[in-house]
Amino acid sequence: MSSGFVKTADGTEIYFKDWGPKDAQPIHFHHGWPLSADDWDTQLLFFLANGYRVVAHDRRGHGRSTQVDTGNTMDRYAADASAVVEHLDLRNVVHIGHSTGGGEVARYVARYGQPQGRVAKAVLVSSVPPLMLKTASNPEGTPLSVFDGFREALAANRSQFYLDVASGPFYGFNRPGAKVSQGVILNWWRQGMMGGAIAQYQGIKAFSETDQTDDLKAITVPTLVLQGDDDQVVPYKDAALLQAKLIRNSTLKIYPGFPHGMLTTHAEVINPDLLAFVKA
């Protein structure tokens, strides 16, 4: 099957795509909030053309997966990812995560992928670990009021909120001289509105308040850390720079002027860098 569902221990159905030769090395993609596996279309087609098996799933409550009102936590996200990997019996996998998906990758690799011997490499792109929230021990983090604002905007008018995020900070379309793509904006909005409001609302806490310091310290496989220095969603000094310090076998690359959604806006730059790391 080139797509399907796997049912998790709590009865949630997780949708996945599985394209390409089944004997090729698999690359598993983990999407950001509040999107779906469709956000990886450009990368899926690119790696498929380069001979890889590509897998991507919709996080619980997102896309085509069950719109659950429970389990919307980083622990469960990682367990669901593991359910997909085990269902397809994937081995020697490269896991690539963007934003919240990067947090999912970090927890999956630390708790499932490495102990099971199924993971070869990892890539964190514009990712949320180790911790987004400002706390006494993380004074440079983002204040809780910012995430409360996300929740308020989502509850009040989710559709407009998602249009505003996509047309503004996510892709850097609010920057002077930015080349704005209406198609990209509408595709982001489409993916967001496919998912369940309750899961996306609860997911804000998962991506902002989950301390993943120990996950990063536990990762031993080669890991590529990528982020743009004009990321208006996840500040790179609190994310990529710390990830590279905490992961013992990491390679860091910072892209001047690139936004949070650089996988879409600068795919012609990012995709070859991903391929070079996978092939190395």
**Active-site annotation, residues:** 99, 231, 260
- Please report, as a single letter, which amino acid is at residue 43: Q
* Token duo for residue 277: 């790391």
* Share of the chain residues as helix, strand and coil, in percent rounded to the nearest 5: 45, 20, 35
* Token duo for residue 233: 């969603």
| CA torsion through residues 146, 255, 42, 176, sign | positive
How many other C-beta atoms are found inside a 10 Å radius of the C-beta of residue 21? 11
* Integer Cα distance of 269 and 258 in angstroms: 10
In sequence order, what DSSP letters do the residues of 229-280 get, joined into one string? TT-SSS-GGGTHHHHHHHSTTEEEEEETT--TTHHHHTHHHHHHHHHHHHH-
213 within 8 A of 130, measured Cβ to Cβ = yes
Instruction: Write 141-146 long-range contacts (CB < 8 A, 24+).
Output: 141/238, 142/208, 142/235, 142/238
Residues in the chain, overall count: 280
Helix axis angle, 144-167 relative to 182-194, nearest 10°?
130
Of the candidates 83, 80, 94, 103, the residue with the CA atom closest to the CA atom of residue 27: 94
